């Protein structure tokens, strides 16, 4: 494998790494010297079915290129599956330095048609599927720190523009991805004493999850042209965030698309007024109108007309 070796000596676990962004991240980490645990349950775009094939193929591809990798096909939305992800890294490579939470699927519906099962399934795979691997990896790193072996560990969580701004027809997905941002901020604060840095990424790329939604704008380019929507464009930032070179960077959210990287600044206080006493409803409404007139316009929800 070729690269600068920015992750040489490190071990990274990537969830949902059998296809799309996860596969690109796993290959890029391996190319930069990381030993990789390739997790994928092998489900369809809506979460149906399961297959060991995708994870094994990516692990085989890494090894064929001269890298080191093992496949993990456990369900990271369960305690046992998430725990075994960490155990697999420790048993195969003796350590764990980075966790890239990427697994997910879609069940898109307008809110009035969104069933409880579709809500629960998407929240489970995205939000719970971030929490459980993070929890088990963090427990390992805390134990290492308490034993006097403070790690230089990294967690990269995967959010979305839908989590930042909302997306019509994706209430479940948008809520899960917004939740991941809150989880990232809390984890960054709680895990800093144990040598763990936690950041989030909102990528835009051509994957199984986006090919229907963005078919017109995410089509493959003509031969020789820059493929702006290739998943591989997002991976260099993931590699850097997983490496020791990202020291001091934590609790941040990045957008990555094509050749563009943006630091997202999130919710910040805008115009404010203090009446020094309780408002009447009419007074509160008048004050709100004045504040809104002084505030910037919010970014439109994706897909809104």
**What amino acid positions are annotated as catalytic residues?**
160, 173, 177
Question: If we measure between CA atoms, which residue out of 24, 25, 23, 26 comes closest to residue 35?
Answer: 26
Structural contact between residues 82 and 133, judged by C-beta atoms closer than 8 angstroms: yes
Structural contact between residues 12 and 6, judged by C-beta atoms closer than 8 angstroms: no
H or E segment and range at residue 35: strand 35-39
- In whole angstroms, give the CA distance from residue 94 to residue 107: 37
Residue with tokens 């929490």: 131
- In whole angstroms, give the CA distance from residue 57 to residue 80: 23
The answer for 279, left when phi > 0, alpha when psi is -120 to 50, beta otherwise, is: beta
Question: If we measure between CA atoms, which residue out of 202, 197, 192, 195 comes closest to residue 253?
Answer: 202
**Segments in 230-280 forming alpha helices (H):** 235-242
CB-side exposure of 59: number of CA atoms within 13 Å? 21
- In whole angstroms, give the CA distance from residue 142 to residue 86: 13
The dihedral through the CA atoms of 86, 90, 93, 98 has a sign that is positive
Question: If we measure between CA atoms, which residue out of 62, 127, 133, 78 comes closest to residue 100?
Answer: 133
Structural contact between residues 109 and 169, judged by C-beta atoms closer than 8 angstroms: yes
């Amino acid at each position: 494998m070729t690269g600068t070796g920015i992750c040489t000596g490190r071990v990274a676990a990537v969830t949902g790494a059998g296809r799309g962004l996860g596969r690109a991240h796993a290959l890029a980490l391996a190319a930069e010297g990381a030993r990789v645990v390739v997790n994928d349950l092998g489900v369809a775009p809506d979460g149906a079915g399961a297959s060991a094939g995708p994870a094994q193929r990516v692990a085989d591809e890494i090894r064929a290129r001269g890298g080191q990798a093992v496949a993990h096909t456990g369900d990271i939305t369960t305690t046992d599956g998430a725990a075994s992800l960490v155990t697999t890294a420790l048993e195969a490579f003796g350590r764990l330095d980075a966790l890239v939470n990427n697994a997910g699927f879609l069940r898109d519906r307008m809110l009035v048609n969104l069933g409880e099962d579709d809500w629960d399934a998407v929240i489970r795979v995205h939000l719970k599927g971030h929490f459980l691997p993070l929890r088990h990896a963090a427990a390992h790193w805390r134990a290492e720190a308490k034993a006097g072996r403070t790690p230089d560990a990294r967690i990269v969580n995967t959010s979305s523009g839908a989590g930042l701004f909302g997306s019509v027809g994706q209430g479940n997905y948008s809520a899960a991805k917004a939740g991941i941002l809150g989880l990232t901020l809390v984890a960054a604060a709680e895990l800093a004493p144990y040598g763990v840095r936690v950041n989030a990424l909102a990528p835009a790329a051509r994957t199984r999850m986006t090919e229907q939604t963005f078919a017109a704008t995410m089509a493959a380019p003509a031969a020789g042209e820059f493929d702006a929507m290739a998943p591989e464009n997002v991976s260099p930032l993931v590699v850097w965030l997983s490496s020791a070179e990202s020291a001091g960077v934590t609790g941040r959210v990045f957008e990555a698309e094509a050749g563009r990287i943006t630091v997202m600044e999130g919710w910040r206080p805008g115009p404010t007024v203090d009446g020094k006493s309780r408002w009447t409803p009419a007074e509160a409404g008048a004050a709100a109108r004045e504040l809104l007139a002084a505030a910037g316009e919010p970014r439109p929800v994706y897909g809104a007309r």
